[in-house]
Copies of this chain bind each other. A is one copy, B any other.
């Protein structure tokens, strides 16, 4: 049986290392950052998950975008990716940002200190876990049924899993924008090079794809 990997896919950061701006809220999930500046490269591709018109690019950015769900059997995300609430749930009305048909199509494990019942939207079931990264990964791998697990972010969650040395592969897209403040993924990606191989691939769209895999 092939090894099950934990993969970060198509995660965007600014040139100065931020995955989201300051002041995240319901109205501004990325805080003061303009999401378009971080994600324009992906939105331009033919395989962009929310594309409604035909067309779109089929170059390098598209190859990376369309790999997002290849051989993925589960996702782990932090609570800050799931929603803008912090602390105990006031109720369970919030079901994520993604409407009735979330773009995951696999079990999603939301890490939170405040558990709540699982629920299903279309073919995506959300589970809520108060667990360590290693425990969460074990649960997600069981659910993934032999396939890989995607680590969906946000920044704090990726940092935790990096710290626990659980990440096998990571695709980070560095967008040509500076944010100055917010949720920081790293001071410099060089801090990872003792543990990861790295290829840095500039795209004609202006982003630079950083492809990490475990040494």
CA distance A46 to B71 in the complex (A): 14
- Residues of B within 8 Å of A156, CB to CB, are none
Q: Binding site of A, secondary structure by majority: helix, strand, loop or mixed?
A: mixed
Contact A60 B201 (CB under 8 A): yes
Known contacts: A63-B63, A66-B70. The answer to whether A58 contacts B197 by CB under 8 A is yes
CA distance A64 to B201 in the complex (A): 13
Beta-carbon contacts under 8 Å, A150-200 to B: 169, 197, 199
Contact A211 B63 (CB under 8 A): yes
Who on chain B is nearest to A204 by CB? B199
A59 within 8 A of B: yes
- Residues of B within 8 Å of A64, CB to CB, are 63
- Residues of B within 8 Å of A70, CB to CB, are 66-67, 70
A3 within 8 A of B: yes
CA distance A60 to B46 in the complex (A): 19
